[in-house]
Every structure is written in C-alpha cells, then in structure tokens.
Structure 1
Amino acid sequence: MSFSLGRISGITIRIHYTLLLFLILVVWSLAVGYMPQQYPGLPQGSYWMIGAASGLLLIISVVIHEVCHSIVAKRFGIPVRRITLFFLGGVSELPEEPRDPNVEFKTAVAGPISSFAIATILAILWYYSMTAGHPPELAAILQYGASINGALGAFNLLPAFPLDGGRILRSTLWRLSGNMVKATRSAAKVGIGISYLMMFGGFTIAILGGFFSGLWVIFIGLFIRSGAESGLSQTIISQALAGTTVNEIMTRDVTTVDSNLTIEELVDEYFLRKKHAGYPVLKGGTVVGLVTMEDIKDIPKNRWSQVTVGEVMKPLRRVATVEPEVSAADVMYKMSRMGVGRVLVMKEGNLLGIVSRRDLTHLIHVKTELMQ
C-alpha cells in the first residue's frame, strides 16, 4: 500500500504507509522527549514545530539518498522504475541488475556519500546558527538533520546485504570471483549473519531493561534478514531471465475457445480435459478476451448451460498483453504488478502465443540449476 509523491528526474517517488506511521512516531518522540531535553525552556508548540520540520527533513534526506542511487544507475544505462520509501529507508526498483561490479560499487556508494554530504552541510549551518544567535528552533532542526543523515549514511555502510554496504561488499566479491550470483550468495550470508547478531543484541538490550530500544534493534535485524533473502532471490531470478525474450519462451500452439461456447462446455471440454487454467477467447477469428477459472466461479452451476464464455470473459482491453520482443524480466514484472498468471503475446492485433507464470518458473529453475 503506497501512494505517489511525484516525480524527480523522471523517477516516480512513492510513499509506503509504514513511513507515515514511522513519521508520526518520530514527530511525537522528538516533540515530547528528545527536543525538550536538548533545548529546554521552549514553548510546547515550538517542540511540535521542530518535530514536524525534522520529520519532513528526514523524508527529504531519504529521497535524496535514493535519488542519488537512481541517478547513478540511470547514468550507467540501468532504468529505474520507481522509488518506494519505507519506514527504514527507501528502495529503488530496478528491472535489471548492474552489468559489472564497478557499476554496482558506484551505484551503491552514491547513497551514503549524499547522506554524509547533507550531514556536513547541515552541521556547518547548525554551527553558524549557534554562533550567530539564530532562534534555537532552527538550531534544533539543523542539529537533528545533521545527526540523522550521519546515522543514515553510517547505517547503510554496514556490510549487510541488501544495504549499501552489503552491495559494496558484493561488488568487491564479484570483482574477485567474476560470478555475480556467487558473490550475491556470499554477501547475503554476511547480511543474514549480521541480522542475527543484531537480533541477539536487541534481545539482550530488552532483557537488561531497554525493552523498546531492544525491540527496535530486533525489528531492524529482521528487516535486514528479510532483505538479504529477498535480494538474493531477486538476483537469481534477474540473472536467470537476463537476455531472454518472450519470443523464446512463449507457447506458440495456443488453445483458444469461441466466445459462443457455454460455460458448461468450457468446463467439460477444456478445464477438465486440458492442463490450462485460462484460454484466449475468439470471436469471428479475432481475439476478444481471456477466460479463466476465476471468471466462472461466481456463476451458479445451474446456469452454466445458459451463460456463454463471451459474457464472463475479461475483454481484451483488460487482459495483460505483450509483444514478442519484450524481455522475460519485464513480463514477470508485469504479471506481478497486474496480479495475473499469464499474458497474451500479440503483434498488430494477432495472437502469436501465450506466456504463463509456469513458463517463467521453469526457465528460472533450469537457468538456476545451470548457474550452480
């Protein structure tokens, strides 16, 4: 669940709802706890203003951090679909992995460099505001911005894949071994190891009395472990699909059904006798839609002999379609985004074939076995 914040350098920025919950927590903790201790004597309203401004500065800092990753990636020819901001940072959605370890290193290091640069600038401004006698509210915001950006840069340099430090580690191992998948496996193992250390440390902190602090550290550890496992899986899938187009994997001998067929005939002659769970629908020799088992579930069985396929099918405008030149990776992304199990391969209105999730899974399995 996320919503669009806008576009920067042609990249869509989206905010996940967890970031909003985290932002509320940050504003509250700054206004009620941290800022009154650091800057006592201010009106209560000032603390809430400081908290809100600091929270906004945190989001801006994370956006800059991720945009710097994306700008470097785009400079090296890697497209960036979008950036999604979560409560623990941001994720740049790349349809493909870096092509060589040098690109990986430069893309990964761009984020921490930007965070440290922001921290340095804000620290200088904070020092100037203190010596120039500016309002303490401004000094508080600048101090928080400097410290949080320094912490953001340092945290991301942990050699825990998929954090930036873990990607830097992967680029180094990749350069040494010449094998990206092997380097990713090793970096992911390091990331998982660090995550377990963090969870153990958080558990210890919680036992010793710092319950909420310990719980927070445990949560970060779980996040890193999950990220390492999903990052490894994503790399394996990306490498397995690399260089393969729809034209190479699609099923060309496509079984179709006529729009005038009844649901009863569809079930008896196709769903029960054949292996497919969905069929392109033709009307007068032209593809007009797609029918799947999901489309007939809500139709009472006593009406199956009366209702036709054309009445329950998804019309072609709502069906996922691709051209044969599209990459297998893009097809998988499209299936995931649209929540479908198959796409029709079309060219100038003609049906050339069909690609199912099973086809992609088989390709990934075979390629993965060969990469072992």
Structure 2
Amino acid sequence: MRVGVHWSVLFIFVLILLGLAGGSFREAHPDRPAWQYWLASGVTAALFLLSLLAHEISHALVARRNGVSVEDITLWLLGGLARLRSEATTPGAELRIAGVGPLVSLLLGGLFALAAGLLAAFSDAGLVGEALAWLAGINILLAVFNALPAAPLDGGRLLRAAVWWKTGSPLRATVVATAAGRFLGWVLVAVGLYLVLVGALFSGIWLVVIGWFVIAVATAEGGQAKLRELLGGIPVSDAMTPDPVTVPAATTISEFLADPRFRYRHSAFPVVDADNTAAGLVTFKGADVVAEKERPSVPVTHVMVPVDDLPTPRPDDPLARLVPELQANPTHRALVLEGSRLAGIVSSSDISRVTSWLSSSSAWRKRTL
C-alpha cells in the first residue's frame, strides 16, 4: 500500500503554522521567544497530519480485513483519501470500513485531551499543553464532521450501509448517501458565502471550498454507482478485445517502435512470452524514454508495466468490478487472462463503448423501468 502526499498538504501545513504561531499560541502565552511559537506550531501541524494519516490507515486496514483491496492513501488539502480498488460486498463490511475512521479520530482526540489534562495537573503546561489541547479539539472536530450522514464523508458511508441493509439495494443506498452529500455541500457553500458577506473572508472561502469538494465527490460517487448498476451482469468478455496484437518479450525497443503493426494501431500492447503467457504491457510513452542509441539492445521487458502491476480479470468476471481497478491503474488497461495465458485486453474506452451501447439499448431501458 502506497502512501502519498499531495502538494496542497504544504498549504494546510503553512496555514496551521501561521494560525498557531501568529495567533492562538501567542495570545494564550504572550511574551515567549518567537522561536518557541514556531517550533510548537511546526510540531503541532506535523502531528495533525499524522493524525489524518492514522485515520486513513485505519480505513485501509479494516478494508483489507473485509476483503477490499486498497490502492493507495493520499494526504491532501482537505484531509486524506484511502482509494479502494473495489467496493464492500455487504452492508456490514461497509459499516466497519466507514466507522473505524471517526472512531480513530475520536480516540486520538481523547488521548491528546488526557495528555493535556495530566500535563496541566502536574506542571506548568505552557505551549506543550496548548498544542495538546488544540490537537484534542481538532481530532474530535474531525470525528464529528466525518460522522455527518453525507457522502463522501464517513457518515455518508454509514448512511449507505444502513440504507443498503434496509432495502437490499446498494445502488439505492448510494443514491441516498450522495443526495445527502450534495445537500450538505450546498449548505456549506451557502454558509460560506454568508460569512464572506459579513466580513469573515477566510472562514467563508474555506467553507465554500469544502462545500464544492463535497458536491463534486458526491456527484462522482453517484455516477459511479449508476455505472456499476448499468454494467451489472455483464462479463469482462463482452468488453474485451479478444486475441489482441501482442509484442514478443524478446522484441527490442527499436523493433517495437519501427514495426508498423504497432506504430499505427494503439498506444499500448500486451507483452507475451513464447507460450503466450502474459508478461506485461508496453506503451509507446515508456519506450520513447529509452535513449536512441540504446534501443537496439534493450528489450521491451525493461520498460513494460509488469503483469503484477495490472488488473488481470478472467473473461467471466463481472465487468462492474473491473471499473474501479481500471480507473485506479495508471495505464487504464487490463489484461484478461485464462490461467496465465492472454485471452484479451480491456481499456477504459472499451468500458465507455459498452456503457454507451447499454444506455441506448431498449432492453436496458426496459430493465430499469
């Protein structure tokens, strides 16, 4: 499981640093040397980011225990995001995966509050006590905010689990959760605009940004749920290109780039061994990275994406389950395997083609009525 940091984390780090060092810490404990404010604020901001990471890691660990694979975790401007390769298979699994995040934030808030209380009871807490109290408050606030019953927040996942359990329909559950998310987002935008009008410029803009984020992600989740429903019952074999043009593993970069069979058809090709065993996927972009003088001696296997780093469904696997894996994979392609042998290839454009056909199909319209 990869852990990444978006550049926007620097923005939130600096924001906390300036807000604490130049504001609350200085007001609570005036007449301290400036370096103490900056040091305490820097450590506090770092601990807050680690708290966000703990929140997301808890989601990932529980997801894995419930059979849901995790692509990566990314910390960014508005918190963190654990990207899952697949969906929970039962309402109970959804409940456990979603519920653990706010519980971890609440636990961290309690531990920071306990540490602040103990420090204040036995010594002059000073800036350390102030930092612990701030961390306690922000983690509890994070837990409460995330528990709001609206997608994409953890509370939205809890709402989805409850509606799913009640109705038996994961699609209906997602529709309810995403509708709640869009409603919450518009409320945050409205409150933010009001704050801007009354002069609280920074707080207002911040709420507007969060509101737009909630609306955008909730809308995207609703669209993905409808896509999964649309593709329900469709096997991967209906979308794949069978017996695709392949590149033998012994082919050099020069041969690959010069061969017209590859040059004018697609941007990526499966790489296979002599017995048609899938080895990986080579792209023109990856091949072009190799220096021109080295291309005659470097095989495509040196620049290909290994098969272990690609989605590898079977022909009879559900197409809907493949969609999030394709979206998460940088190549946006999957090698369809029968055992270890290549049966076909599926790309995001193949999914779009099937989706367009189903959307216009009279049989599909009757099915949804």
Structure 1 and Structure 2 fold alike (TM over 0.5): yes
Whether the 8 Å contact between 1:288 and 1:315 is mirrored in structure 2 is no
SS in 1 for 2:112: helix
Q: Residue in 1 aligned with 2:59?
A: 69
Are positions 1:230 and 2:215 aligned together?
no
For normalisation by structure 2, the TM-score amounts to: 0.77
Deviation at 1:231, TM superposition (A): 2.1
**Quick check: 1:65–1:115 contact (8 Å CA) kept in 2?**
yes
Distance 1:291 1:110 in 2: 40
Deviation at 1:252, TM superposition (A): 2.0
Give the TM-score normalised by the residue count of structure 1.
Answer: 0.77
Would the aligned equivalents of 1:341 and 1:356 in 2 still touch at CA under 8 Å?
yes
Residues 5-20 of structure 1: matches in 2 within 5 Å? 11-20=1-10
In the alignment, the residues of structure 2 paired with residue 174 and residue 230 of structure 1 have an alpha-carbon distance, to the nearest angstrom, of 19
Query: In the alignment, residue 74 of structure 1 is paired with which amino acid?
Result: R
How many angstroms apart in 1 are the aligned matches of 2:54 and 2:285?
Answer: 43
Match of 1:301 in 2: none
Aligned: 1:315 with 2:306: no
Q: Distance in 2 between matches of 1:203 and 1:261?
A: 56
Q: 1:106 and 2:96 equivalent? A: yes
Q: Deviations over 1:51-85 (max 9, x none)?
A: 11110110111111112222222222222222111
Tell me if 1:359 matches 2:350. Answer: yes
1:93 CA displacement: 1.3
**Gap change, CA 1:242 and 1:144, over 3 Å in 2:** farther
The 8 Å contact of residues 238 and 329 in structure 1, kept in 2 or not, is answered as yes
Letter in 1 for 2:158: I
C-alpha separation between the residues in 2 aligned to 1:317 and 1:242?
38
**2:145 — aligned with what?**
155
Specify the code of the residue in structure 1 equivalent to 2:179.
K
- What letter matches 1:64 in structure 2? A
The answer for the alignment partner of 1:307 in structure 2 is: none
Which consecutive unaligned segments of at least 5 residues does structure 1 have? Answer: 1-10, 298-309
Contact preservation (8 Å) 2:271, 2:280: yes
* 1:237 CA displacement: 4.3
Give deviations 1:94-141, integer Å, cap 9, x for gaps. Answer: 111111112111221111111111111211211121121244021011
CA distance in 1, matches of 2:283, 2:349: 15
CA distance in 1 between partners of 2:302 and 2:236 (Å): 20
- How many residue pairs end up in the alignment? 345
1:133 aligned partner = 123
- How far did 1:48 drift? 0.5
8 Å Cα contact 1:289-1:315 kept in structure 2: no
Pairwise CA RMSD of aligned residues? 3.9
Unaligned 5+ runs, structure 2: 289-294
Aligned partners of 1:97 and 1:238 also within 8 Å: no
Equivalent residue of 2:242, what SS? coil
Is the CA contact (8 Å cut-off) linking 2:86 and 2:325 kept in structure 1? no
User: What is the match of residue 108 of structure 2?
Assistant: 118
| 8 Å contact from structure 1 (residues 96, 238) kept in 2 | no
SS in 2 for 1:81: strand
Structure 2 residue identity aligned to 1:79: S
Decide which of 285, 302, 314 is 1:325's aligned counterpart.
314
Q: Deviations over 1:198-226 (max 9, x none)?
A: 10111011001111111111111011111
